[in-house]
Structure 1
Amino acid sequence: MSNEELKVLLEKYLSDEITPAERQRLQVLVQNDHNRHTLGEMIAAILAEERYTTTSQVDLQQAFGEVMQEAAHREARSRERSMMVVTDSSSSPYFRIFYKLAAAAILLVGLGTGAYWWYRSPQPVANRPVAAVVVPGGNKAILTLADGSIIELDSAREGALGNQGGTRIIKLNGGRLAYAANSAANAGAGSQYNTISTPRGGQYQVVLPDGSQVWLNAASSLRFPVAFTGKDRAVTLTGEAYFEVAQNAGQPFIVQTTGMQVKVLGTHFNVMAYSDEGRVKTTLMEGAVSVSQGKATSLMQPGQQASINESGEAFNITRPDLEEVMAWKTGEFRFRKTDIRMIMRQIARWYNVEIEYKGDLSGITLYGGMTRKENVAQLLELLEQTGEVHFSTNGNHITVMPAGMN
């Protein structure tokens, strides 16, 4: 890549003369961290040109700095959906120049960190009124007690929900459940199991009897004893959860899934074990964990992700984008060259919608990010702004097609 190529593409972008192929090339160049400094210098040089400095109405140099700072702040504020808003002053030619340069500035920050969806004003998208009623998920879960009785946590009142084997079950505020074991917990409590399950469109947090904290993603469940009285602390997970395990060297913590066992003493990690994702993935944030499946075993280090390979004989150890892995816990959608079908599976679980596919969607991977607080219509609009995909909606049914297909 030459600086001349980057400059030509940037000039074409600012003058609205860029072709779709050239725009795609510019996206690739901007996403390369090695080009960020060069691009910043080029934008600054453009701002210094006489054609942008002859007006006293707008201090573009200062505006550029402010926009860059604001864009960085937006990224830090959970990457919530941000769009450039054109005010009445947009009739000014100087404002239009500033708008394009501001867009380029935000493009630099946004694309450089992988959260793009070109920051231009969105165009009207057809077939969206019905989808607007599909709202995001929230704190919803069902607790199944050892005797089979069921408590709907989202409708239950805060406070004590019951007592099992000397362990109190308490609903806290903000979508949290806590198990408070005490000295009166009897030996039989270790054989009494509870299960907390989130539906599609739900999430919940639980504090286990040992003080370990677990965040459950949508369409997930965790089975655990009401007291950890044995030689280990074993729980069973389906779906996805993030664990912050209380340290206890004499009682290892074990997470069992259908495709992997994770063994720890005290650490922070994420386990994704959805049946429709093909592979179970464990991502370690802090500490150390041992993963095993059959004869395969591996010791992980922070920042690594383990998944069992196709043969089931060895683990694949990679270093994933940790922000993308943890986006669900921080209330975000975060895509970094993510396959469209994987994106739609996340959407299906969080919004409780049905997905259908039409046409050839192979090879479509997207970058982007948005808060999970928005309704599905806004997310679909942003996805369509990439020019790669198109959606048709009918109630809670979404059809995904390549762009240009109806």
Structure 2
Amino acid sequence: MTNERLAYLFDRFLQEQCSPEENRELSALVLNPQHEEQVRALLGSYWSQVVAAKDSVLMPDEEAEKMLEKMFHEPLKKAAPVKRMRWRRIAVAASILLAVALGSYLVFFQPSKETKEVVKVEEPAKDVKAPETNRAMITLADGSTVYLDSANNGQLAMQGNVKLVKLSNGQIAYETTGGDMLTEMKYNTLSNPRGSKVIDMALADGSHVWLNAGSSVTYPIAFIGNERNVTITGEAYFEVTTDKSKPFKVSKGDVTVQVLGTHFNVNAYDDEDNIKVTLLEGSVKVSKGQSSLNIKPNQQAVVNTNTVSLNTNVDVDLVMAWKNGYFKFNRTDLKIIMREIARWYDVEVNYEGNVPLQLYNGDVPRNVNVSEVLKVLEYTGAHFKIEGKKVTVLK
């Protein structure tokens, strides 16, 4: 059955008069198997006009490919083992060729005219870029969500007399204004997903929190009452404004860090064996159940299932490398490293065979592709394979 619209658009295409919308419509019509015979006839008619003075009556493979390249605005990549086709089969294969042109599939055709088999195989990317943007979001007290990557600078929300704003440097801040004071505790949650740059936020009391990828913090819009309580998942660094009348508490499950005014880092990812609280300035008390520990600067509280223990041999530069834009390894176990890579690049990590037992050292900027990080590890004997968003640790 002849489709008049297809013929009309094909003619406009040959005259280079198709609009972008018409070209998309033409592509869809060509891809429809019901139009196979008509597409074949249109291509044949076109070719007979072009080569009227030549002996050949067959449209060469190269010419058919050029026609489709122009139609789909992509060069056809020669992805082996794609077999060349006579023009008479181009119409049948148009949809497959389009996929090849986009680099997404490898196509195989049976030699029989009656049977055409298509095998779809993903062609994975060979590298993964570091996060280029921040994809964090804030869930407000009313349940609505503000996506920070698409939000303009300026006021994002007004909750009582507290204004949520995005500053020109990308920082998020809560500012108290005139108006009705909040009389009940209301909470917001800042979530920073895997594969997202570090996000910096100023709370209503002036305290600052930085969130690593794959982390979240839940906090009051305004600190009402005698305490300042927040909860976290993942990893966060805090610089807490001093207020002796209102202790600042950070919780993860039944683990609590209590401070007055101080700088400290909390690593509390669910896939890590322990929660680690590292103090840079001031003093904090770390508690779990009946067990508690006061730590001083350059010390670390390590919280496991039953106890809170003290680590005095702390590499603070290693702990804070994520906030300062680096991966830093200092006799670090490979599985710990790969978990950090998985969160930052939002990749899946698999292991082929046993995990190498050696420990690793090195410093790498976090703004490079994942392959650059893996090269540092390969200097000490590890080997990796990157397939799209999957990294495999080889034997």
Same fold (TM over 0.5): yes
Q: Which residue number in structure 1 is paired with residue 70 of structure 2? A: none
Superposition pairs for residues 202-241 of structure 1, below 5 Å? 202=196, 203-241=198-236
* Structure 2 residues without counterparts, runs of 5 or longer: 1-123
Cα displacement string for residues 114-147 of structure 1 (whole angstroms, at most 9, x for unaligned residues) = xxxxxxxxxxxxxxx9333433354220110000
Counterpart selection for 1:165 from 160, 165, 171: 160
Q: Which residue number in structure 2 is paired with residue 249 of structure 1? A: 244
Q: Which residue number in structure 2 is paired with residue 330 of structure 1? A: 324
Deviation at 1:382, TM superposition (A): 2.2
Pairwise CA RMSD of aligned residues? 1.7
Q: Which residue number in structure 1 is paired with residue 367 of structure 2? A: 373
In the alignment, does 2:248 pair up with 1:267?
no
CA contact (8 A) 1:142 1:198 kept: yes
SS at match of 1:389: coil
| Cα pair distance change 1:168/1:335, threshold 3 Å | same
Q: Which residue number in structure 2 is paired with residue 318 of structure 1? A: 312
- The 1-side partners of 2:357 and 2:228 are apart by 42
| Cα pair distance change 1:137/1:333, threshold 3 Å | farther
Cα displacement string for residues 172-215 of structure 1 (whole angstroms, at most 9, x for unaligned residues) = 13331000124545243x41110000010112111000000000
Cα displacement string for residues 62-107 of structure 1 (whole angstroms, at most 9, x for unaligned residues) = xxxxxxxxxxxxxxxxxxxxxxxxxxxxxxxxxxxxxxxxxxxxxx
| Cα pair distance change 1:185/1:348, threshold 3 Å | farther
Q: Which residue number in structure 1 is paired with residue 126 of structure 2? A: 131
Letter of the aligned partner of 2:223 in structure 1? F
- The 2-side partners of 1:231 and 1:325 are apart by 31
Which entry has the higher C-alpha Rg, 1 or 2? Answer: 2
Deviation at 1:257, TM superposition (A): 0.7
- The 1-side partners of 2:343 and 2:133 are apart by 12
| Cα pair distance change 1:385/1:174, threshold 3 Å | farther
- The 2-side partners of 1:397 and 1:253 are apart by 40
* Structure 1 residues without counterparts, runs of 5 or longer: 1-128
Larger RCO, structure (CA 8 Å, separation 6 or more): 1
| Cα pair distance change 1:334/1:274, threshold 3 Å | same
Q: Which residue number in structure 1 is paired with residue 143 of structure 2? A: 148
Deviation at 1:319, TM superposition (A): 2.8
- The 1-side partners of 2:133 and 2:265 are apart by 20
Cα displacement string for residues 347-389 of structure 1 (whole angstroms, at most 9, x for unaligned residues) = 0000000000112225221000110010111111222122x21
CA contact (8 A) 2:301 2:308 kept: no
Letter of the aligned partner of 2:263 in structure 1? H
Q: Which residue number in structure 2 is paired with residue 112 of structure 1? A: none
- The 2-side partners of 1:162 and 1:227 are apart by 14
Identity %: 46
Q: Structure 1 stretches (4+) deviating beyond 6 angstroms?
A: none
CA contact (8 A) 1:136 1:375 kept: no
Letter of the aligned partner of 1:364 in structure 2? Q
| Cα pair distance change 1:217/1:132, threshold 3 Å | same
CA contact (8 A) 1:137 1:350 kept: no
Deviation at 1:232, TM superposition (A): 0.4
Aligned length: 272
